[in-house]
Amino acid sequence: MNAGAGNRHGGRTPKPLEEKFRLGNPSGRPLPERSELMALPGVVVDEAGALVIPDPPDELGPEGIETWQRIWVAGARWISTSTDVHAVQLLCEQIDERADLRRRVKLYNDWRERSALRTLERQIMAGLALLGLNPVDRSRLGVAIVQTESTIDRIRRERAGGQ
């Protein structure tokens, strides 16, 4: 993926403020004071401690609804139910459109529809990146999933009988 992916103005994708603060502002450009920043609402849970997921829009199809659920669960720590809902909706609508377009490509094998499918898939990947739903962009947001044991270590342990 090129350095400017996701940035329609060319050049590198801007670093989020969180990353600049974490890195100590290596560019030296003025940053807002932390006291001037407003925190987004965190994870919303109900009385039982279960994650509260916004209701999906009525116009979503089955693939879009499934994606809606998966996005809110996967990104619960950094995707805001108050500010990111439209981006999630747009992405889920694209997923529905992809499912329909993919069925048509399989049925008719039209090159125009196949080209449209590949263009839509690039747009979906860009949307996933904007929401921090791939490893690179998740790390740019300062979110990491820590793996306590590598796959090779787990296989070695299992082969040694240490389940």
Residues 85-106, mean pLDDT to the nearest whole number: 97
Residue 2 has pLDDT above 80, yes or no: no
Task: Identify the band that residue 1 occupies on the pLDDT scale cut at 50, 70 and 90.
Answer: very low
The C-alpha atoms of residue 156 and residue 163 are separated, in whole angstroms, by 10
Rg of the chain, C-alpha, whole Å: 20
21 falls within a domain: no
In a domain, 14, yes or no: no
pLDDT recorded at residue 10: 61
- Whether 24 is covered by a domain: the verdict is no
d(CA 21, CA 27) in angstroms, rounded, equals 11
Residue 20 counted as domain residue: no
Sign of CA dihedral 89, 139, 120, 97: negative
Q: Residue 9 domain-assigned?
A: no
Distance CA 114, CA 116 (A): 5
Section 100-121 average pLDDT: 97
In a domain, 132, yes or no: yes
Q: Which of 30, 5, 6, 3 is nearest to 17 (CA)?
A: 30
Q: 84 lies in a domain?
A: yes
**Contact yes or no for 143/78 (Cβ under 8 A):** yes
* pLDDT tens, residue by residue, 10-58: 667 666 666 677 777 777 888 777 777 666 566 677 788 788 899 999 9
Identify the domain containing residue 126 by its residue range: 39-159
Q: Is residue 18 part of a domain?
A: no
Tell if the pTM clears 0.85, that is, is over it: no
> Given the structure tokens 């342990």, which residue do they identify?
157
Structurally, the chain folds into a number of domains equal to 1
